[in-house]
Structure formats: C-alpha cells, structure tokens
Structure 1
Amino acid sequence: MNFEPYPFEKLNDLLKDITPNKNYAPSALTIGEPQFETPAFIQNTLADNAHLLKKYPMTAGETNLREAQRGFVKKRFGVELKDEEIIPTFGTREVLFNFPQFLLFDIENPTMAFTNPFYQIYEGAAIASKAKMLLINMDESNNFKPEIDENELSKCDLVIINFPNNPTSSVLTLKELAEWVKLSMKHNFVLLNDECYSEIYTDEKIPSLLEASMYAGNHNFKNILVVNSISKRSSAPGLRSGFIAGDKMILKEYMKYRTYVGCAAPLPLQSAASVAWREEIHVEAARKIYKKNFALAKEILGTEIPAATFYLWLKVENPLEFTKKLYEEYNVKVLPGEYLAREDAKGENPGKDFIRIALVEDEEKTRSALIRIKECLA
C-alpha cells in the first residue's frame, strides 16, 4: 500500500531547517486536540473503575455505554435508535479506516467518494480498499459546500461527507443533508457522515444525517450511517470513545467483522465514556471557550465566526511561505491547507490558498498567537 505522508509529517519536513524565534513562547495551532483538562468527573470515573482492567471488554460494547450513546442521540438529535442501530467504537479513526475495507471487500472495482479538503484517513481507507477515489470539491465558489455531480455519484459504492467540516468549518442544513439522503436512495450508495464536530457549534445546533434521513422519509436509515466521537465534545481524545450508527442491516455484518478486528475499548474507559456521553454541562462550557476564541479571531484578524468546529480556514498569500515565516519569526505553527486536500481532475487543489488554524488553547494563549499571526500577515 502506498499511503501519502500525514499532513503533520509534511509540516515537519517543511519546517525542519528553520529555527524559530525564541523571543516568543511556542504556539502550535496545528492539531485538533483540545488543550483543556478532561473534566474531573470523567477522570474520577475512570479511576474508580480501574479494577475492571482484569476483564476482557466485549466487542459490542457494554450495556451502560450503548445506552448512554443512544441517549445522547435521542436527547441531542431527537432520534430514537434501536440497540442494533448503533455500535460503540474505539474512537472513530479506526472505523473510518476499517469500515470502507469491510463494506467494499466483495465489490469488484469499487468507487469511494469523499469531500475535498478532507481528514486524510478517508484517503487511506480508499487506498487500503483498492477503491477508485472520487473527490467532492469544496471551495470558495460554492461556500465550501460539496459539489453534487449525480453522474459521478451514481457510480459510487460509498460516499463519505464530513459536516460540520474539518478543515473548512462549513455546515449543511437539515434540508441540504436530506438531499444527500435522497441521492443515496436514488443511486443506492452507502452514505456516511463524519459528525465528530457536531457538538462544537457557536449558536445554532447542527443537524445530524440521522435527522435528515428521517426528514427524507428514510426511517430505517437504509444505506445511511454516521460516526461521532467524545474526543472534541468532552476534551477527552484519550478515552477513544465513538460510535457508528444507522442502517442495522449493514451494522449487523459489520459487527461480525469487528469481532476479528479486536479494537474493543477497555472497560474503565467505557465506564468513563458512558458518564461523559450522558452529561452536557461540561460540553456547554467548552463551546463557550471556543466561541470566545472565534470572537478574538474576529477582533484581531477580522474573520467571520463560523457556525461550528474550532478551526479557522484562513486565506493567505503563498501559504507555504507564510507558514515558514510565521514559525521562523513568531514561533507559531499552523497547517497549510494544501496538505489537507488533493488536486482534482483539473489539477486544482482546493486547499492551496489557505491555512488551517486550530483554536484549541485558552484565551490568553489564543490572543497571543492571533496577534502574532496578524503581525505576520502585515
């Protein structure tokens, strides 16, 4: 298998010969990892259940975790899932990599589509599945919404979309998501939405593809799946708690596959995750921090406050050179947008004019970094 280097490897290579300005404290705004303490009640539950390390976890997930995740979906999206319509997972990265391999294994010459720019695991999954890749471009001309080409989509076996979107911060409305559900039903492709940023919204709640499926009349979620994670919403990426939910017929067979993968979460982690999925106060507190960071960015850089995520997708002149200059002169790391996208059939990379900035620090550190970015832009 010939995988592309990860974006952070490319960034390290870009900056390897640069000595940053030591007059500034280092600031890394590259990785989407919340830089806040995991709430104490989650940590305490983990410690209280450490004795469960002596037991093997079930691949299907413990009952308390399954119930907590189903409760989250019902409370947040108004969708009541049956038990067979959800599977707890070890985060979502492993699902996004192995689910396409499971789904496409018996299909001759499969085609997999995904939004571009993208989370690179989608591309890795396509490579591992020996699938033809179709890039669904998102750029300024369409307000970073996915372009719909029915002729191309009709040839697809699996389509992965990602809303709220990493890295562009764009969102789709319920009706827009429902249009994708209808396309899935019309052309019989499996549609999966990566919803890991659904809880990091600034004002209005962001809809789920599950809601859109119900709205479109697809009450059994035929060919419809979502993944979600606790990592962003609870500042707990180390818990590795996620789920895949939707079409029970697909999930029934995928569950068999997962028994061979061997990626069940340890029981103490499941216990801690179950209380985190049930509690919303700490999530609201995190949202306020991210919204305040976006307000700082608007004040300092003049950027608009996006509807969701904690990313700024900032257009700059010559992003690669800007990234190097920002690191050398101001000791701030950001990620060039072209590392998060690929050239389309026309040879155009929709990320080439942008940088991604992850606003995952506290107010003081965020303000300092944004001021330095502004000075560098000037």
Structure 2
Amino acid sequence: MNTHSNSEKLVLVTGGSGFIAVHCILQLLEAGYQVRATLRDPDREAEVRDMLREGGYEAGERLHFIQADLSSDANWPEAVSGCTYVLHVASPTPIRDYKHEDEMIIPAREGVLRVLRAARDAGVKRVVLTSAIGAIVYGHPKQTAPYDETTWTNLTGKAPAYQKSKTLAEKAAWAFIEKEGKGLELTAINPVAVMGPVLGADYSHSIHLVKNLLTGKMAGCPKINSGFVDVRDVADLHLRAMTHPAAKGERFIATAGESIWLVGIAKILKEHLGDAAHKVHVKELPNTLLRIAALKDPTIKGVIPLLGMIMNVTSAKAIRLLGWQPRSTEEAVLATAESLIRLHLLDQ
C-alpha cells in the first residue's frame, strides 16, 4: 500500500477504545494515515496506546484523541473536522437489565445520525458503518441456504432488542444518506461473532464465549450456531470499504466461512491447546435444561430464540468485489484463546 499518499489523509475512528476500533486504528497507522479517535472517557487514551503497543505499533503523533459521546452533540463537529473518512465503529453495548428495548434502540439510531450529520457538514468523503449480522439474520423462517447482504432482520419476528437496535440504526443510516446525505458516501460492514487477538482488557462480548469455555464457566455448549471472524480481518475489510470505489453504497458481511455450532468451538480449543484447555467441556447442553435455567437467568433467556437456528451467512460479496481474504474460523478462535492466556485475562 502506498503510505506516502495516505500520510496527508485524516481518518476519524469512533469509539476508539473498542476491540474492533483499536484493530482499525492499528491498520490505519500501518497504512500511513493520520488518525483521530473519539473516546467517551479521555482518561482512556493511555490504555488505547498500550493496546496499540501490544499490537506492535507505537502511535506517536499520528494519533490524536477527542472526547465525544454518541448521546450528545458536543464535539462531533470538531471530531470530523478535516477528515477524509470516518470509521463509525462505536455502538452502545448490549444492556442486560433493560426495561424497554428503546433503551438500546434510540441511542444506537440517534448516535449513527449524529455522526452522519457531522460528517456530511464537514465534507467527509465516506463513512464506513460497523453494523452487525444482527441486522440480517433474525426473525426469518428457518433456512439452510446462507444469508447474504440482500436480507434484513425481520423486526416483526423474534429479534432480540440488541439486534433490533443494530437493524434500525443501519436502516436509519441508509435513509439519511438517501434523503439528506448530499453526496456523503456510506458503506456498512456486518460482522458475525468477532474473535481474534485481544490487545487489552477491553474486548467484544463474543470473546467471553472462549473465555468462559477455557475457565470452565460453561458446563457445556448450548445448541447455538454462529459464524465467526477474526478482528484483524474485520479491520482489513473496514479499510478496503473505506477506499474501494465498488464499496460505495454497499453492505458487506464479514465471516471467516461457514457457521458452526458452539460445541465445534469447544472442540477446536480442546484439540489444539493441550493443558490450557483442560477445563473446556465438549458436550452439548439439552435445550430443555436451558429453558428451565432461562426462567431465573435473563442472560440465558436471551439465547432461547437462537437454539437450533442455522446462522449461516456468506462473505462472497466482500471476497469478489473487494478482494478480501479472511483467516479461518479455527485460526480466529485460537488467536483469541492464545491472547487471553498470554495477557493473563482468564482470571479477571
């Protein structure tokens, strides 16, 4: 990649302390860009720089931070000022004990629109939105054919609140571009469960699956099916989507390959990690057992609609149009486990 031509370009990354965001910052810096990152808490700058060091990069003066929150208008004009591109990675995290789904839906939708308005007004060329597979696969009759980017989650079906929030936020983004974008370009990335090397204590909720298996916290695996993808490949897809002409106005699913059952993840850990995986339980839990447990545990209740559902999706579009080449599911899972072990995060 020609880093010289990139050195004059400034890219804003929202939610700069997040798992995907830090990997995006890492790859942007390696590609020669100037980077500005938003943080809700400015005191986390040192933590982000430490994570980048863990990833092998000393950011120095090419990375700057600005305080901004998706729930407030403050500082967004300053955050996007002078930027050629915006990677809008920040998203409200799932709330466990919400009283109404609007507690997740409204902040997600309003946050996206806040960033898009600021980007449009500042003359940004393109925004890459980190959406989710949750905006594609929920609320449909069971199917074995892989879902692709033409599908949207059916909000009249049994879509969980977090997935509804991702769907409505992405739909609001596309509607804004169509009606009020004034030439601002948009691309959406829809990752499956994101794995890969953890660089610090701030990592995505998908990582807890591997952590809970390695620590023995999961006495077995619910019959849940998911695709998995390495965070390094998700970041790579963001950068490709940011500059590639064919990415304008498109959404791209990010998955390493075919979806697998959770017991398959347990088997990967057991087969490759030796003693480090001695607490991993390679057995599938009966659905009836989980339904009983869900009566008392809201976290388990949230996964009940997913039991037995095939969540297979395809990344053929990203591979064909953008030349994207993801690592395998096995490599992504093992990189997750090895980093958790190396950074002593299993006992935290």
TM-score by length of 2: 0.29
